[in-house]
Amino acid sequence: MTNPLLSDWGGPFALPPFAEIRDEDFGPAFEAALKAARKAVKAIAENDAPPRFDNVIEALELSEALLDRVSGLFFNLAGADSNAAREALQRELAPKLAAFASEVTMNKRLFARIEALWRDRAALGLSAEQLRVLELYRRMFVRAGAELDGAEAVRLKAVKARLAVLGTQFSQNLLAEERDWAMPLTEADLEGLPDFVVAGAKAAAEERGLMGHVLTLNRSLIVPFLQFSPKRKLRETAYEAWVARGANGNAHDNRAIAAEILQLRAERARLLGYPSFAAYKLEPEMAKTPAAVRELLMRVWAAARARAEADAAALTARMHADGLNGELEAWDWRYYAEARRKAEQDFDEAALKPYLSLDAMIGAAFAVASRLFGLEFREIGGPFYHRDVRGWEVTRKGRHMAVFLGDYFARGAKRSGAWCSAMRGQRKLGGEVRPIVVNVCNFAKPPKGEPALLSYDDARTLFHEFGHALHQMLSDVTYGFISGTSVARDFVELPSQLFEHWLEVPEVLQAHARHVETGAAMPEEMLRKVLAGSTYDQGFATVEYVASALVDLAFHEGAPPADPMAKQAEVLAELGMPKAIRMRHATPHFAHVFSGDGYSSGYYSYMWSEVMDADAFAAFDEAGDAFDPEVAEKLERFILSAGGSQEADALYRAFRGRMPGVEPLLKGRGLLETA
């Protein structure tokens, strides 16, 4: 039979033929794709014709087309709908793909042709976009070790291959920990829980083929349980299981893996001539240096810690009033913070959720994109890669812009968290290619026949990931190398975090936050409380985030620690971490940092981008309209459609006219008065 992964994908939008693809098709497809890519790269490197932009850079852009297509599908499935076969192949592929990447970027003849173009760039008559792509290709090759020779080159290849294996193992261990843990809940254990939490626990049991109700480590289920369960012992058990992922002394323990990853990253940096992995990693980012990152984080830390300590005192007093003596613990914070919010602000998260159905919030995100950028969304049928996945065609003035897939519910086969990826990116080279963009979330799935209700945090996550999706959908560049989210890591979160602001625009909630049963609009008083409470408990949220970012930086800034857990404890002690708050991501489950190099030394990126997103939304405030068409047009032209066509700070200055300071971030988090 013909392998559907190797055939042309016809049909509407050239989507993958999901229903025809079997797991056993992927191995042969990767072998064929790697063979084709090697052949193409060899031809480029050994071409006797003088190097030109078209026969080197443009040829490289198209050389891995089949590999990109197969990889784009497979790695989406491996993250969102894993199984034993896919996990096994992922482990097998990790060193193979790392070896291939090293073959390409450390190919001396190929690099010599790129260097020749770079040397003669002024005489080549290249466009600004072509010059940028040439610069980035050369930078990628140099940073990958193209200038190394002999034993150092051999060692670097081995280091990168081992890192690929370890990152895959870290991810799969974490998935197994989350998949394997569940806590049965008796009828008595459900006492005090809102209906939506009870429904979520029932659906979680059904998903696992169990009767009754269970609590899982899915964030959208465990966080509300910690908020609402009056049973302190259950909260403690659940919380400790949540934060112990990857550190349970079993076959899925990630602590030794994290230590080896840090050692190898430090060695990689030394081989390339950098004093530390953080120095290496941050060089092409907006921050440039570890010192710049630390300066931002410590400026915010002081304000956040002061607020958190004041809040901890108030929560401790509330706990003591409940007749519980002793210190406030980590499993108490959310419960008493929710109780305090209800008492002081008369805000009830459980009463809010019926106004935030999943369908309503998808509609809200689409409506905002339509008003800002003229996009239209038409739901399309599958089949897609899982029965829960939904799809839409995205158009503008009749022009096809993208296919958008939404995969919103938690399941055991899906890694935790939320993310945006592209099964296919945008480019114009070789003919117009429009993207297939995927948003993956882990919202609690309701029992069959019932609507999915989101917390306000869930709704914010949906808007966040859709902001990333817009960065892909609106991309308008020639070269795939710089399309969509192919930008500096500390810039990539700007579109996503900026889009979150529209969830707080009153007219958006007035139009879309309607009761799931009655259709009634959110009451004015509730709307006022939602918007007024946007900075509630930001001391806690900021402390748990900044602590994680500072630990990440410390891991990579100096000599690699032999014991990452001891280093983590040392950093937190030096910071004066409040006792009742833990890191958002402890080392053994810090997937951002250890599942790959993506956010290593870069977890600060969310806050670096937040400095910009607060200032960027202020541009709409200054125009007097959250949907001002001129500001929206500039946002699309200089940020969302531009990809990596210029350095990030140049793109931001083109949009805003200047770079912002940290004050808008502190104000947005309600921390300015404590700074």
pLDDT tens digits along 109-124: 999 999 999 999 999 9
Name the pLDDT band for 358 (thresholds 50, 70, 90).
very high
Convert the pLDDT of each residue in 551-608 to its tens digit: 999 999 999 999 999 999 999 999 999 999 999 999 999 999 999 998 999 999 999 9
Percentage of the chain exceeding pLDDT 70: 99
Residues 409 and 520 reside in one and the same domain:
yes
Residue 155, domain member (yes or no): no
Report which DSSP code applies to 379.
Answer: E
Range of the domain at 391: 354-535
Asked if 294 and 384 sit in the same domain, the reply is no
Answer with the one of 243, 276, 293 that is the final residue of a domain: 243
What Cα–Cα distance (Å) separates residue 579 from each residue in 226, 309, 335, 670? 17, 9, 16, 22
- Name, in order, each residue with C-beta under 8 angstroms of 401's C-beta and a sequence gap of 6 or more: 375, 394, 395, 434, 473, 474
Together in a domain, 322 and 452 = no
506 and 589, same domain (yes or no): no
Q: Write down the pLDDT at residue 673.
A: 62
CA distance 316 to 334: 12
Q: Taking the model in full, what pTM does it have? A: 0.95
Instruction: Place 238 in a pLDDT band, splitting at 50, 70 and 90.
Output: very high
383 and 261, same structural domain? no
Tell me, yes or no, whether 396 and 502 share the same domain: yes
- Calpha distance 421→424 (Å, rounded): 9
Work out the mean pLDDT of the chain and round it to a whole number: 96
Residue 381 lies inside a defined structural domain of this protein:
yes
CA angle 455, 497, 423 (to 5 degrees): 90
Residues 237 and 305 occupy one common structural domain: no
Considering only 498-502, 541-545, 669-673, which range has the smallest mean pLDDT?
669-673
Q: Are residues 80 and 124 in the same domain?
A: yes
Sheet architecture: strand order including 419-424: 376-380, 390-396, 399-409, 436-443, 419-424
pLDDT tens digit sequence for 402-446: 999 999 999 989 998 999 999 999 999 999 999 999 999 999 999
Asked which of 601, 634, 655 is the last residue of a domain, the reply is: 601
pLDDT, position 276: 97
Task: Report whether pLDDT(652) > 60.
Answer: yes
pLDDT greater than 50 at residue 675:
no
- In contact, 189 and 227? CB cutoff 8 Å: no
Tokens found for residue 599: 């956010």
With cut-offs at 50, 70 and 90, classify the pLDDT of residue 349. Answer: confident
Query: Six-digit token pair at 140?
Result: 């990628």
**Residue 592 contacts residue 167 (beta carbons within 8 Å):** no
Question: Residue 342 sits in a domain of what CATH number?
Answer: 1.10.1370.10
Single-letter amino acid code for the residue at 283: E
Task: Identify whether 635 is part of a domain.
Answer: no
Closest C-alpha among 73, 330, 347, 120 to residue 222: 330
Q: Which residues pair with 402 in a beta bridge?
A: 394
Q: Establish if 663 belongs to a structural domain.
A: no
Tell me how many domains the chain contains: 4
Residue 484 scores a pLDDT above 60 = yes
- Residue-level pLDDT at 534: 82
Residue 410 lies in a domain: yes
Give the pLDDT confidence of 248-301 residue by residue, as tens digits. Answer: 999 999 999 999 999 999 999 999 999 999 999 999 999 999 999 999 999 999
Measured CA angle at 255 (ends 253, 261), to 5 deg: 120
- How far from 623 is each of 252, 270, 490, 628, CA to CA, in Å? 53, 49, 27, 7
Same domain? 283 vs 138? no
At 55, the amino acid letter reads N
Is the pLDDT confidence value at 620 over 80? yes
Nearest CA to 166 out of 595, 556, 555 is that of: 595
Amino acid identity of residue 10, one-letter, is G
CB atoms within 10 A of CB 330: 19
In angstroms, rounded to a whole number, what is the distance separating the alpha carbons of residues 643 and 474?
9
Q: Given 585, 601, 617, which residue is the final one in a domain?
A: 601
Cα–Cα distance measured from residue 316 to residue 396, given in angstroms and rounded to the nearest whole number:
54
User: Which sign does the torsion angle of CA 354, 359, 365, 371 carry?
Assistant: negative
According to DSSP, residue 445 is labeled P
Pair (304, 430) in one structural domain: no
| pLDDT number for residue 237 | 98
CATH classification at residue 129: 1.20.1050.40
Mean pLDDT of 477-483: 98
164 part of a folded domain: no
- Under the banding of pLDDT at 50, 70 and 90, the label for residue 669 is confident
Query: Within its chain, how far is the Cα of 563 from the centroid?
Result: 27
Q: How high is the pLDDT of residue 674? A: 46
Q: Which pLDDT score, from 0 to 100, does residue 321 have?
A: 95
Residue 664 confidence class, pLDDT cut points 50, 70, 90: confident
- Asked whether residue 370 falls in the same domain as residue 483, the answer is yes
> At 184, which helix (H) or strand (E)?
strand 183-185
* pLDDT beyond 90 at 635: yes
What CATH number has the domain bearing residue 440?
1.10.1370.40
Distance CA 178, CA 430 (A): 43
Give just the sign of the alpha carbon dihedral 71, 77, 80, 85: negative
For residues 222 and 124, membership in a common domain is answered with: no
Residue of 465, 557, 610, 636 with catalytic role: 465
Classify residue 620: in a domain, yes or no.
Answer: no
| Least confident among 11-15, 301-305, 502-506, 616-620 | 11-15
Asked if residue 625 belongs to a domain, the reply is no
Is 465 catalytic? The answer is yes
